Structure 1
Amino acid sequence: MTTSAIENWDWSRPVFDHLHLRVADLAASRAFYLAALRPLGIPLLIDTPETVQFPNLALSADGEPSARVHVAFVAADEDAVAAFHAAGVAAGGRDNGAPGPRRYGPPGSTYHAAYVLDPDGNNVEAVFRSFGG
Protein backbone atom coordinates (compact mmCIF):
# COMPACT_ATOMS: atom_id res chain seq x y z
CA MET A 1 0.00 0.00 0.00
CA THR A 2 1.39 3.38 -0.90
CA THR A 3 1.29 6.34 1.46
CA SER A 4 -1.51 7.82 -0.64
CA ALA A 5 -3.57 4.64 -0.34
CA ILE A 6 -3.03 4.56 3.42
CA GLU A 7 -4.06 8.20 3.76
CA ASN A 8 -7.18 7.70 1.62
CA TRP A 9 -8.40 4.38 3.07
CA ASP A 10 -11.73 4.51 4.93
CA TRP A 11 -10.57 2.97 8.22
CA SER A 12 -14.18 2.62 9.40
CA ARG A 13 -14.95 0.17 6.56
CA PRO A 14 -15.43 -3.41 7.80
CA VAL A 15 -13.32 -5.94 5.93
CA PHE A 16 -13.92 -9.08 8.02
CA ASP A 17 -17.24 -10.72 8.76
CA HIS A 18 -16.10 -12.60 11.85
CA LEU A 19 -13.24 -14.26 13.69
CA HIS A 20 -13.47 -17.69 15.33
CA LEU A 21 -11.01 -18.50 18.11
CA ARG A 22 -10.69 -21.99 19.51
CA VAL A 23 -9.84 -21.81 23.21
CA ALA A 24 -8.54 -24.22 25.85
CA ASP A 25 -11.10 -23.26 28.51
CA LEU A 26 -14.37 -21.84 27.23
CA ALA A 27 -15.53 -20.64 30.66
CA ALA A 28 -12.27 -18.76 31.31
CA SER A 29 -12.30 -17.19 27.85
CA ARG A 30 -15.98 -16.27 28.20
CA ALA A 31 -15.25 -14.46 31.47
CA PHE A 32 -12.21 -12.66 30.02
CA TYR A 33 -13.92 -11.46 26.81
CA LEU A 34 -17.16 -10.57 28.60
CA ALA A 35 -15.23 -8.26 30.95
CA ALA A 36 -12.74 -6.87 28.42
CA LEU A 37 -15.30 -6.13 25.71
CA ARG A 38 -17.91 -4.55 28.01
CA PRO A 39 -16.14 -1.12 28.06
CA LEU A 40 -16.14 -1.21 24.25
CA GLY A 41 -19.91 -1.72 24.13
CA ILE A 42 -19.57 -5.22 22.62
CA PRO A 43 -22.25 -7.51 24.10
CA LEU A 44 -22.42 -11.27 24.53
CA LEU A 45 -24.91 -12.56 21.93
CA ILE A 46 -24.85 -16.35 22.24
CA ASP A 47 -23.83 -18.35 25.30
CA THR A 48 -24.06 -22.15 25.08
CA PRO A 49 -21.89 -24.98 26.41
CA GLU A 50 -20.38 -25.30 22.90
CA THR A 51 -19.88 -21.70 21.80
CA VAL A 52 -19.76 -18.14 23.04
CA GLN A 53 -20.40 -15.40 20.51
CA PHE A 54 -19.96 -11.66 20.54
CA PRO A 55 -20.58 -9.53 17.43
CA ASN A 56 -18.06 -10.74 14.85
CA LEU A 57 -16.23 -12.97 17.37
CA ALA A 58 -16.96 -16.62 18.15
CA LEU A 59 -15.22 -18.74 20.79
CA SER A 60 -15.33 -22.53 21.07
CA ALA A 61 -13.33 -25.31 22.72
CA ASP A 62 -13.80 -27.84 19.92
CA GLY A 63 -10.18 -28.20 18.82
CA GLU A 64 -6.64 -27.11 19.46
CA PRO A 65 -6.60 -23.57 20.84
CA SER A 66 -5.82 -20.82 18.35
CA ALA A 67 -2.30 -19.58 18.92
CA ARG A 68 -0.48 -16.31 18.42
CA VAL A 69 -3.55 -14.49 17.11
CA HIS A 70 -3.72 -10.70 17.28
CA VAL A 71 -7.20 -9.21 17.21
CA ALA A 72 -7.95 -5.49 17.52
CA PHE A 73 -11.31 -4.07 18.58
CA VAL A 74 -12.48 -0.53 17.83
CA ALA A 75 -12.80 1.75 20.86
CA ALA A 76 -14.98 4.88 20.92
CA ASP A 77 -12.28 6.99 22.58
CA GLU A 78 -9.10 6.89 24.66
CA ASP A 79 -11.07 6.35 27.88
CA ALA A 80 -12.61 3.19 26.41
CA VAL A 81 -9.11 1.94 25.53
CA ALA A 82 -8.02 2.43 29.14
CA ALA A 83 -11.20 0.80 30.49
CA PHE A 84 -10.70 -2.21 28.17
CA HIS A 85 -7.14 -2.66 29.43
CA ALA A 86 -8.12 -2.38 33.10
CA ALA A 87 -11.06 -4.77 32.69
CA GLY A 88 -9.02 -7.29 30.72
CA VAL A 89 -6.24 -7.38 33.31
CA ALA A 90 -8.78 -7.58 36.16
CA ALA A 91 -10.43 -10.53 34.38
CA GLY A 92 -7.17 -12.51 34.37
CA GLY A 93 -5.59 -11.26 31.15
CA ARG A 94 -1.93 -10.28 31.14
CA ASP A 95 -0.80 -6.77 30.33
CA ASN A 96 0.88 -6.67 26.92
CA GLY A 97 1.00 -2.90 26.43
CA ALA A 98 -0.47 -0.14 28.58
CA PRO A 99 -2.90 2.38 27.07
CA GLY A 100 -1.18 5.10 25.10
CA PRO A 101 -0.34 6.51 21.68
CA ARG A 102 1.28 4.26 19.09
CA ARG A 103 3.08 5.08 15.85
CA TYR A 104 0.64 3.52 13.40
CA GLY A 105 -1.53 5.06 10.71
CA PRO A 106 -1.20 7.83 8.19
CA PRO A 107 0.41 11.20 8.92
CA GLY A 108 -1.88 13.51 10.87
CA SER A 109 -3.73 10.64 12.51
CA THR A 110 -3.57 9.30 16.04
CA TYR A 111 -3.61 5.67 17.13
CA HIS A 112 -4.26 5.15 20.82
CA ALA A 113 -4.20 1.50 21.91
CA ALA A 114 -3.77 -1.02 24.71
CA TYR A 115 -2.96 -4.73 24.62
CA VAL A 116 -3.91 -7.65 26.87
CA LEU A 117 -3.08 -11.33 26.44
CA ASP A 118 -6.18 -13.52 26.71
CA PRO A 119 -6.21 -16.83 28.65
CA ASP A 120 -4.67 -18.60 25.63
CA GLY A 121 -1.97 -16.00 25.08
CA ASN A 122 -3.57 -14.27 22.10
CA ASN A 123 -2.87 -10.55 21.82
CA VAL A 124 -6.14 -8.64 22.20
CA GLU A 125 -6.10 -4.92 21.45
CA ALA A 126 -8.46 -2.00 21.77
CA VAL A 127 -7.70 0.92 19.47
CA PHE A 128 -9.05 4.42 19.02
CA ARG A 129 -8.11 6.14 15.76
CA SER A 130 -8.64 9.77 14.94
CA PHE A 131 -7.81 11.53 11.71
CA GLY A 132 -7.13 15.06 10.69
CA GLY A 133 -5.14 18.01 11.92
Structure 2
Amino acid sequence: MNRKAAAVGALALAGTLLAAVPAQADSAPRSDGAKSVCKRLPTTQERVDKAVRRLNGDATVAGSVARLQQRVTDAKVAGHTEMYTYLNDRLTFRKTLLPALQTRQADLKSVATWCAAQPSPAASK
Protein backbone atom coordinates (compact mmCIF):
# COMPACT_ATOMS: atom_id res chain seq x y z
CA MET A 1 0.00 0.00 0.00
CA ASN A 2 2.85 2.43 0.83
CA ARG A 3 4.47 1.79 -2.53
CA LYS A 4 1.25 2.57 -4.29
CA ALA A 5 0.83 5.81 -2.32
CA ALA A 6 4.43 6.79 -3.01
CA ALA A 7 3.98 6.14 -6.72
CA VAL A 8 0.81 8.21 -6.82
CA GLY A 9 2.56 11.00 -4.89
CA ALA A 10 5.53 10.95 -7.26
CA LEU A 11 3.21 10.99 -10.25
CA ALA A 12 1.28 13.93 -8.81
CA LEU A 13 4.51 15.80 -8.12
CA ALA A 14 5.76 15.20 -11.66
CA GLY A 15 2.45 16.43 -13.05
CA THR A 16 2.63 19.55 -10.92
CA LEU A 17 6.15 20.31 -12.09
CA LEU A 18 5.22 19.81 -15.73
CA ALA A 19 2.17 22.01 -15.34
CA ALA A 20 4.30 24.78 -13.81
CA VAL A 21 6.62 25.09 -16.83
CA PRO A 22 4.11 26.94 -19.04
CA ALA A 23 3.20 29.20 -16.12
CA GLN A 24 6.83 30.25 -15.80
CA ALA A 25 6.95 31.10 -19.48
CA ASP A 26 3.95 33.40 -18.97
CA SER A 27 5.83 35.41 -16.35
CA ALA A 28 8.22 36.86 -18.92
CA PRO A 29 7.73 40.58 -19.64
CA ARG A 30 5.30 41.29 -22.46
CA SER A 31 6.59 44.79 -23.17
CA ASP A 32 9.35 47.22 -22.23
CA GLY A 33 7.10 48.87 -19.62
CA ALA A 34 7.05 52.20 -21.42
CA LYS A 35 3.49 52.97 -20.38
CA SER A 36 4.37 52.59 -16.69
CA VAL A 37 7.61 54.52 -17.05
CA CYS A 38 5.81 57.43 -18.71
CA LYS A 39 3.12 57.37 -16.02
CA ARG A 40 5.69 57.55 -13.19
CA LEU A 41 8.03 59.96 -14.98
CA PRO A 42 7.10 63.20 -13.16
CA THR A 43 7.55 61.56 -9.74
CA THR A 44 10.82 59.96 -10.79
CA GLN A 45 12.16 63.25 -12.15
CA GLU A 46 11.19 65.02 -8.94
CA ARG A 47 12.99 62.44 -6.78
CA VAL A 48 16.18 62.59 -8.85
CA ASP A 49 16.15 66.40 -8.93
CA LYS A 50 15.69 66.52 -5.16
CA ALA A 51 18.61 64.14 -4.62
CA VAL A 52 20.88 66.20 -6.89
CA ARG A 53 19.93 69.43 -5.08
CA ARG A 54 20.63 67.78 -1.72
CA LEU A 55 24.03 66.44 -2.81
CA ASN A 56 25.00 69.83 -4.27
CA GLY A 57 23.89 71.67 -1.12
CA ASP A 58 26.24 73.53 1.21
CA ALA A 59 27.49 72.30 4.59
CA THR A 60 24.17 73.20 6.24
CA VAL A 61 22.22 70.73 4.08
CA ALA A 62 21.90 67.24 5.57
CA GLY A 63 23.05 64.66 3.03
CA SER A 64 25.18 67.05 1.00
CA VAL A 65 28.69 66.27 -0.15
CA ALA A 66 29.90 69.50 1.47
CA ARG A 67 28.46 68.55 4.87
CA LEU A 68 30.04 65.10 4.79
CA GLN A 69 33.32 66.66 3.67
CA GLN A 70 33.20 68.93 6.72
CA ARG A 71 32.60 65.93 8.99
CA VAL A 72 35.57 64.12 7.42
CA THR A 73 37.76 67.17 8.02
CA ASP A 74 36.54 67.49 11.61
CA ALA A 75 37.29 63.81 12.31
CA LYS A 76 40.78 64.16 10.88
CA VAL A 77 41.52 67.29 12.93
CA ALA A 78 40.21 65.60 16.08
CA GLY A 79 42.43 62.57 15.44
CA HIS A 80 39.50 60.14 15.25
CA THR A 81 41.14 57.79 12.76
CA GLU A 82 38.37 55.19 12.66
CA MET A 83 35.66 57.82 12.17
CA TYR A 84 37.79 59.56 9.54
CA THR A 85 38.15 56.30 7.59
CA TYR A 86 34.45 55.48 7.86
CA LEU A 87 33.27 58.96 6.88
CA ASN A 88 35.83 59.27 4.09
CA ASP A 89 34.61 56.00 2.56
CA ARG A 90 31.04 57.32 2.72
CA LEU A 91 32.21 60.56 1.11
CA THR A 92 33.88 58.67 -1.73
CA PHE A 93 30.66 56.79 -2.40
CA ARG A 94 28.49 59.90 -2.16
CA LYS A 95 30.70 61.69 -4.68
CA THR A 96 30.06 58.88 -7.16
CA LEU A 97 26.30 59.32 -6.72
CA LEU A 98 26.26 62.82 -8.16
CA PRO A 99 27.48 61.96 -11.69
CA ALA A 100 25.20 58.92 -11.76
CA LEU A 101 22.18 61.01 -10.81
CA GLN A 102 23.10 63.73 -13.30
CA THR A 103 23.27 61.08 -16.03
CA ARG A 104 19.86 59.82 -14.90
CA GLN A 105 18.50 63.40 -15.12
CA ALA A 106 19.63 63.64 -18.73
CA ASP A 107 18.18 60.21 -19.52
CA LEU A 108 14.86 61.18 -17.96
CA LYS A 109 14.70 64.33 -20.09
CA SER A 110 15.08 62.17 -23.19
CA VAL A 111 12.42 59.79 -21.89
CA ALA A 112 10.09 62.74 -21.21
CA THR A 113 10.51 63.91 -24.80
CA TRP A 114 9.79 60.41 -26.05
CA CYS A 115 6.73 60.01 -23.80
CA ALA A 116 5.32 63.35 -24.97
CA ALA A 117 5.62 62.23 -28.60
CA GLN A 118 3.58 59.05 -28.01
CA PRO A 119 -0.13 58.99 -28.77
CA SER A 120 -2.33 59.37 -25.72
CA PRO A 121 -3.92 56.18 -24.39
CA ALA A 122 -7.40 57.55 -25.19
CA ALA A 123 -6.44 58.02 -28.86
CA SER A 124 -5.34 54.39 -29.21
CA LYS A 125 -8.72 52.94 -28.10
TM range (shorter): under 0.3
**Greater RCO structure (CA 8 Å; 6+ sep):** 1
More helix by share: 2
How high is the TM-score relative to the length of structure 1?
0.23
How high is the TM-score relative to the length of structure 2?
0.24
Q: Which has the larger radius of gyration?
A: 2
More strand by share: 1
